[in-house]
């Protein structure tokens, strides 16, 4: 059974006003003071953000428990310095992002200018184990039509600088400002993948290979495929769903590769449209159905994804829970819908943040 690990980025906010606070260094210092060997929490590009990474897991219940524990630990450390944490992919309230002081982040600010200074967004990255680079690239090639569906399920960023953007996942649109971000063409082999990365590095546009921000890529640190399209999810069980579907997609793609079934020959231009449609609609409108890339209701497209990975999820015992979580998202809403409904009910973006803080800590809405 393939292992899965999740990286989540959380927003640090003022518990009274809901405004983002640039206190990640203080939160990390408190975590280290409590446990000098802690390796769960890390700084991110912006001082208003805190990242954690789970350990590789094979059991999705264990992965979910670890995500919940890490969120609660982050909340406890933040509370100790007068902050709260929220699983928000963008700040609902206006923010002036503070770029971290380390050399890497300062290089990014110098090189990319306003794109770095403006685009504080928070994602969820899923690492799924692969047996080799060849298998990994075969998987990356075959994941492409389905990644936009993961984006729609996780959508949790309808607001930007105090305004409704009209998008369910505006984070994904802002993320496209990075020069290497987005969907990829077919690679066909690990050698061609490595050659493409080397060609990108030769342009001197990227600092290092960690800045190759493909929607799905070979991890430069671990023997995994890293899937990077999702917003940080408001609810922990949505994050587990994304991880579950990611593992199902990787396993299904690997089986197709071994059976000699070719990947869908879709151009990057069409994949970009699928990503845009998912960002705009989330689960409340049409998405593009990977079979033919034509519009269909979101529930139909998510159902097609579940059917596509059904055999893999049955074998790991995850199919029923995945179906139940998807049904709940359509019934109760993903993060984008929760945020908008909270604003409609309270007429206050501060209350939107407060509701998301509660949900991040596992409290009922």
- By the 8 A CB rule, do 285 and 298 touch? yes
pLDDT in tens, 101-129: 889 999 999 999 999 998 899 999 999 99
Instruction: Name 109's Cβ contacts closer than 8 Å, sequence gap at least 6.
Output: 99, 116, 117
> Can you give the CATH number for the domain in which 197 is found?
3.30.590.20
Residue 364: predicted pLDDT: 58
How many CA atoms are closer than 13 Å to the CA of 130, on its beta-carbon side?
Answer: 33
Residue 233: predicted pLDDT: 98
pLDDT band for 362, please (50, 70, 90 cuts): confident
pLDDT in tens, 38-84: 778 988 999 999 999 999 999 999 999 999 999 999 999 999 999 99
Tell me: pLDDT of 179 over 70.
Answer: yes
Rounded distance between C-alpha atoms, residue 191 and residue 345, angstroms? 54
Rounded distance between C-alpha atoms, residue 235 and residue 231, angstroms? 11
Average pLDDT of the chain, as a whole number: 96
pTM above 0.85, yes or no: yes
pLDDT band for 35, please (50, 70, 90 cuts): confident
Domains: count for the chain? 1
Residue 101: predicted pLDDT: 87
Instruction: Name 130's Cβ contacts closer than 8 Å, sequence gap at least 6.
Output: 2, 136, 139, 223, 224, 225, 250, 254
Instruction: Name 209's Cβ contacts closer than 8 Å, sequence gap at least 6.
Output: 197, 201, 220
Let me know if residue 365 belongs to a domain. no
Say which range, 35-39, 181-185, 300-304, has the weakest mean pLDDT.
35-39
């Amino acid at each position: 059974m393939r292992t899965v690990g999740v990286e989540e980025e959380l927003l640090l906010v003022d518990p009274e006003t809901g405004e983002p606070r640039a206190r990640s260094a203080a939160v990390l210092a408190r975590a280290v003071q409590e446990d000098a060997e802690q390796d769960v929490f890390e700084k991110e590009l912006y001082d208003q953000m805190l990242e954690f990474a789970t350990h590789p897991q094979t059991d999705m219940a264990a992965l979910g428990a670890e995500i919940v524990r890490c969120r609660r630990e982050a909340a406890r450390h933040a509370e100790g310095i007068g902050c709260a944490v929220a699983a928000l992919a963008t700040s609902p309230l206006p923010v002036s992002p503070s770029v971290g002081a380390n050399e890497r982040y300062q290089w990014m600010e110098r090189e990319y200018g306003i794109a770095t200074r403006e685009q504080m967004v928070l994602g969820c990255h899923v690492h799924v184990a692969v047996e080799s680079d060849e298998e990994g690239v075969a998987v990356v090639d075959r994941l492409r039509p389905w990644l936009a569906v993961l984006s729609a399920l996780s959508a949790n960023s309808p607001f930007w600088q105090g305004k409704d953007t009209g998008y369910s996942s505006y984070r994904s649109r802002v993320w496209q400002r990075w020069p290497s971000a987005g969907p990829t063409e077919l690679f066909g082999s690990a050698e061609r993948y490595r050659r493409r990365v080397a060609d990108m590095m030769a342009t001197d546009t990227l600092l290092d290979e960690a800045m190759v921000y493909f929607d799905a890529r070979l991890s430069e640190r671990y023997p995994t495929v890293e899937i990077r399209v999702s917003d940080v999810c408001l609810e922990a069980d949505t994050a587990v769903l994304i991880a579950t579907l990611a593992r199902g997609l990787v396993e299904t793609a690997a089986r197709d590769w071994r059976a000699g079934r070719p990947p869908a020959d879709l151009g990057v231009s069409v994949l970009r449209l699928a990503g845009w449609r998912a960002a705009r609609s989330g689960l409340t409108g049409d998405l593009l159905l990977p079979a033919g890339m034509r519009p269909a209701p979101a529930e139909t497209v998510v159902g097609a994804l579940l059917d596509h990975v059904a055999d893999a999820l049955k074998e790991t015992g995850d199919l029923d829970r995945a179906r139940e979580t998807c049904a709940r998202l359509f019934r109760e809403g993903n993060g984008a819908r929760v945020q908008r409904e909270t604003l409609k009910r309270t007429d206050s973006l501060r209350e939107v943040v407060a509701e998301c803080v509660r949900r991040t800590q596992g409290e009922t809405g």
